[in-house]
Amino acid sequence: MNKTVRQLLTAMLLAAVSLLGACTAKEISYNNPLVTQRADPWIHKAECGAYYFIATVPTFDRIELRKAETINDLASAEPIEVWHQHESGPMTNHIWAPELHRIDGIWYIYFAAGHSEDQWKIRMFALSNTSEDPTQGTWVEEGQIHTERDAFALDATVFEHKGEHYYVWAERTGSEINSGLIISKMKNPLTLYGPQVVITEPEYEWERHTYNVNEGAAVLKRNGKIFITFSASATDHTYAMGLLWINEDDDLLEAESWNKLPEPVFYTNAEVNRFGPGHNSFTVAEDGKTDLVVYHARDYKDIEGHSLGDPNRHTRVRVLHWDENGFPDFRQEMGD
């Protein structure tokens, strides 16, 4: 092969690689914000490949689902109301942080809600649906998910590990702790059993702005570890995400086995107009392998009135990277 032909083939190969890289990048890029005025976002990728989106609506009065074949199409998908708050008693206000899970062929929505006689008497509840498509069929109220403390509780998530399901949620753990994260095994999708173990409480300054809060757990199993992200501080520009992890063969109900980074992993970056990122979830891109982090944030700092009254926490999606040690890298300095 002469030099000219070799150079030509090399140039063609480099062009092909560049084109492939461009196509791959295009496939895993998303329009941000993805869905405006939706906080605590959760995106579930079903076995059929469809994506389902659920989140807190700014009126805190209902639960909606969206369905689309791609993540970007969730933005224009029609919201379908699957449940509405009660007029009195429990589940009448502060309808927060719904998550959609499929367990043993049944769909479940876990969410938090307050009481008509005390809007801050917030507890965790569940709905179920036996339809193949959660946007269809009938959603049935399954009642409260009861905990030992029976205190202010919210932001539940569920994951499976070694054939057992675990429930992780935020609950008041002390007079000066608004919420810490607790883990428990599940007897079934509606019942906890065994020890309810506190795995993190707010201890660092970045976790204690205005409120002493650890909440909004999201679980990702990778690289021989179980990672849990969580959010801390107030729902303004001080909101930030932290990281817990445990080796997959350790006892998940042994508090000392959990590790916690002393610094946040994702937080306000004014240079890219990202303020108060938090309450994330994880999903997988259309290629079936690229991890994504889904979260909410505002694009401005200053808020008039109480931060919960400001509706502009928007859902955003970005690729989750991994460092050389097998830990998630949120690329704090990068915009979406």
Catalytic residue numbers read 40, 215
Q: How far is CA 115 from the centre of its chain?
A: 24
Cα–Cα distance list, 100 to 46, 52, 97, 139, 293 (Å): 11, 8, 10, 12, 16
Secondary element (H or E) of residue 18: helix 3-27
Query: How far is Cα 18 from Cα 288, in angstroms, rounded to an integer?
Result: 22
Cα–Cα distance list, 202 to 108, 187, 230, 259 (Å): 29, 29, 11, 14
8 A C-beta contact, residue 283 and residue 53: no
8 A C-beta contact, residue 171 and residue 184: no
**Tokens linked to 87:** 């007029």
- What's the DSSP call for residue 256? G
